[in-house]
Amino acid sequence: MEGCGCDNFLWWLIKTLEHLLFPIWAVWRYAERIFWSIEGMRSDDEKYISEAIETVTAPRSIELYFFFQAFLQSLPQMLLHINIVMRQTQDTNKQTTDAEILSFAFNLAKLSATVAFYHRFKTQKLAGKQYPWFKAYKKPGIDQVDSLLKPAPVEPQTKNIEDPVISESRRSSGSYMEPSTGPLNDLKEVPGTLRETSVIDGPLRKLYQETSEPDFNVKRVAEIKGLPEDDLAGKLVAFCWWSCFLLVRILAISAFFFFYPDATIWLLFAHFLIVIAFLIYDVKSDEVKRAKALFFVFIGLIYIFCIIEFKIKFKKTKFMYYGYFSLVFLQNFAMCLVWWTHNVEDMESDFWFRYIFYIVVVGSIISVMSMILYLNINKPEKIVVAKRIL
């Protein structure tokens, strides 16, 4: 059969083994990162260090699994663990509680690192950043990559330019010509006897029937800007920012769900609709709405807990960020104040809920301070990557 040669069978066998041994590739990727990171820190050779960094940051297919793992595995586990801890009784084993809290902390670190990596990914991609699962055989050539990193020069429109011809309807200060009689002969006299007493009675008034318009075309040049990747300090500040933000968001939702499960579901559904409306307003493309309807549902569920610029580029970044964080912080404090003022005094074991309320307040303050620090100091300046004539 055509197409079923030895090479295709070997490819099928390799892919089958990769799927059967799927967990091994995740462990292999982590081991590869740890090994080459240590080797790069121990070495003094610049060439060897650059090779180690290249190996650590090399694209791997397993990175796509890590991306989905953060939102489809770590996030649900965090919600499950915190609900188990809030419902514990005096008979609960201490080791069980410690295991739940430890698992919650590791999942929070995993989710925070992923969000910090992708929160402005689409804008950073314009400056050369690629998806970590983007394999080598899918990459463009080196010339195309360089063209993405360098500003594209604006080509002047200088083809087939003829000698200028002096128009009869225009005057020049350098050459005196006889006045054109075109528009001046087409004058219309306005009669002065419209009424016996009229404001236009008197000398005859003359009106021009036509006027000449400028015969030049103005073109605008639009700059396409990208965002460079964060340095080490920027990544650490962004990680702290998103860690506190995600911790506060998950605790606020979980505590409110403990007292008002139905109201929580309706509130999150309304939040989902609001962020989808924000995205549709910012994108404003019918093609994107139809082709990525399922993706918009997925990204809308993610935006219940955090905001990332993934697969879509924000046209109004400040509008999206200010609107989103104002909405989320307002929801968090409203949810906590409702059960804090009505339910916490009636509980026999209210330690966890008082602890959650204090964490929400302090964590929100730290999150806002870290966000301000990142946006004003650690965020890199945008660079022009290309130019386009409108």
40-49, 152-161, 257-266, 352-361, range with greatest mean pLDDT: 257-266
Tell me if 24 is assigned to some domain. Answer: no
Integer Cα distance of 60 and 51 in angstroms:
16
Domain extent for 93:
59-152+225-389
Helix H, strand E, coil C: the string for 324-347 is HHHHHHHHHHHHHHHHHHHCHHHC
Confidence of residue 236 (pLDDT cuts 50, 70, 90): very high
3-state secondary structure of 188: strand
Tell me if 362 is assigned to some domain. Answer: yes
- CA-wise closest residue to 378 among 367, 370, 368: 370
Greater confidence, 179 or 78?
A: 78
DSSP code, position 374: I
Confidence of residue 267 (pLDDT cuts 50, 70, 90): very high
Query: What are the DSSP E strand ranges found in 191-338?
Result: 206-208, 221-226
Q: What is the pLDDT of residues 297-351, one digit of tens each?
A: 888 899 999 999 888 888 888 888 888 999 999 999 999 999 888 766 666 557 7
Q: What is the pLDDT of residues 59-103, one digit of tens each?
A: 888 888 889 989 999 999 999 999 888 877 666 778 888 888 999
| Tokens coding 367 | 């999150």
Does the reported pTM lie above 0.85? Answer: no
Tell me if 269 is assigned to some domain. Answer: yes
Distances, alpha carbon 357 to alpha carbons 57, 278, 295, 324, in Å:
40, 29, 34, 22
Tell me if 163 is assigned to some domain. Answer: no
- CA-wise closest residue to 111 among 239, 276, 272: 239
Tell me if 51 is assigned to some domain. Answer: no
Is pLDDT at 163 greater than 50 in this prediction?
A: no
Q: How many structural domains are present in the chain?
A: 1
Tell me if 189 is assigned to some domain. Answer: no
Is pLDDT at 238 greater than 50 in this prediction?
A: yes
Greater confidence, 243 or 213?
A: 243
Confidence of residue 266 (pLDDT cuts 50, 70, 90): very high
Tell me if 173 is assigned to some domain. Answer: no
